[in-house]
């Protein structure tokens, strides 16, 4: 299991990652835009980042531009991301984290693997992943 922070931006993810990359002497890796994804976002949003990572010495965070139907407010700009070793363990983890909380995206198969997003009963946002 691996847990790390996932930062959400309101259309300025690339600008923020450029800033953090310079500041922390890190590299922006694994960039993916909404361009070729089967996700319902406006055409004006297709060049925004659907996923990216900032990686360097002692730093590794993930980030994305939240789709326009996911409003970003101060306080919900960060999600904890959990990468699990099996589909079953990911499903169980999602079930426990979402119990008495709020499910935003049911845990199910997506283009990139299995994924679910929820807010736990303490108000912490979680993304649970399994990629086979």
| DSSP string computed for 16-47 | HHHHHHHHHT-EEEEEEESTTS-----GGGTT
Q: Per-residue pLDDT tens for 32-83? A: 998 988 888 888 889 999 999 999 998 999 999 998 888 888 777 889 999 9
What are the two backbone dihedrals, phi and then psi, of residue 42, each rounded to the nearest 5 degrees? -60, 155
Q: Where are the domains of the chain?
A: 2-130
Q: Global pTM?
A: 0.76
Q: What pLDDT sits at residue 115? A: 97
The rounded mean pLDDT for the chain is 92
85: three-class secondary structure by DSSP: coil
Using pLDDT thresholds of 50, 70 and 90, give the confidence band for residue 124: confident
- Domain 2-130, what fold? 2,3-Dihydroxybiphenyl 1,2-Dioxygenase; domain 1 (3.10.180)
């Amino acid at each position: 299991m691996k847990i790390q922070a996932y930062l959400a931006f309101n259309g300025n993810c690339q600008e923020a990652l450029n800033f953090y990359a310079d500041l922390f002497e890190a590299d922006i890796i694994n960039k993916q835009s909404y361009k070729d994804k089967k996700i319902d976002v406006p055409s004006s949003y297709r060049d925004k980042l659907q996923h990216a990572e900032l990686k360097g010495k002692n730093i590794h965070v993930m980030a994305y531009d939240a789709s326009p139907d996911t409003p970003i407010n101060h306080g919900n700009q960060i999600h904890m991301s959990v990468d699990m070793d099996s589909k079953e363990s990911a499903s169980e983890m999602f079930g426990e984290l979402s119990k008495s909380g709020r499910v935003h995206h049911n845990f199910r198969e997506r283009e990139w693997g299995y994924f679910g997003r929820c807010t736990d009963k303490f108000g912490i946002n979680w993304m649970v992943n399994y990629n086979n």
